[in-house]
Structure 1
């Protein structure tokens, strides 16, 4: 059994390139969406929960207390653009495009080509019902940063199998 199988952590896919966590501290490809938390450009106490649905590119952007983003009115706001850009840095353009089912004409896709392909379809605004779950997951991830590094099992991670059983 390897060391990572005995620890309470799981392997993480390394970032394609380093990200600036101050602007977009949380980004994930989950639940059929690219979703995450984006810092406000004007207020250090405010963050936005932004998401883009795979396939339809329906988007949602609101503050952490469910106030709609003023810039996301019929078009991708700066928060959504920052989210896509950071997702490309985290996962690579090919993986983001594949997950969102974006047809990119470029041989070497970039954040700009992914954004252009999505906005060219004139996407609609989504209801934003997932914002609470996304923000809750972000807060849970922040709590893990406060823990000291350790290898003993974590009770809230019991669902994650640390060892394989052979039948």
Structure 2
């Protein structure tokens, strides 16, 4: 058993590749979905909360005000494609495909997107989107903290760094 497996903290994985946060500032694999926040291409004040369910690939896309996305009528919209693309950059295509239960090898974001194209819109309520947006805002609040070496009590779940002397 390795050190991290017996520790009480989770291992933090670096991104597979660097990504720009302007289009998709928040992406996560959580709650059985690939989900995140995607910036609007037309309005700087608007963001979309998009998600794709693992296994069924049911999708949802709505604004932060719970208005449905006009492009997600019966098929994936551009926001969901951007979410998949950024998730592949953040986590790597193998991890995203495994999480979404897509059975394929040697693919990129475009191929992953194409394999899920037959999905249908989700009938889920807006509570899931609200939780994703709330987590995004909570993460965003940490950007506004002044730089300090003092501990932040709400961030104590992060794994401690090891100091080698």
Normalised-by-shorter TM-score class: 0.7 to 0.9
| Structure 1 residue 125 displacement after superposition | 2.6
Where does residue 49 of structure 1 map in the other structure? 49
* 2:120 aligned residue: 123
Gaps of 5+ in 1: 1-8
Q: For residues 46-65 of structure 1, give each alpha carbon's deviation from its aligned partner in whole angstroms, at most 9, with x where no partner exists.
A: 00000011111110000001
TM-score in terms of structure 1 length: 0.82
Aligned-CA RMSD value: 2.1
The Cα of 1:15 is off from its aligned counterpart by 1.1
Q: Aligned pair in 2 of structure 1 residues 41, 101: CA closer, same or farther (>3 Å)?
A: same
Residues 64 and 86 from structure 1, CA distance in 2 versus in 1: closer, same or farther, beyond 3 angstroms? same
In the alignment, structure 2 segments of 5+ residues that lack a partner are 1-8, 161-165
Mapping for residues 90-105 of structure 1, pairs under 5 Å: 90-104=90-104
Deviation at 1:74, TM superposition (A): 0.4
Q: 1:139 aligns with which of 134, 137, 140?
A: 137
2:61 counterpart of 1:58: no
Q: What number of residue pairs does the alignment pair up?
A: 151
Distance 1:79 1:47 in 2: 10
1:16, 1:92 within 8 Å by CA — same for their partners in 2?
A: yes
Structure 2 matches for 1:16-165, cutoff 5 A? 16-104=16-104, 107-120=105-118, 122-127=119-124, 128-158=126-156, 160=157
TM-score after normalising by structure 2? 0.83
Distance 1:11 1:103, change over 3 A: closer
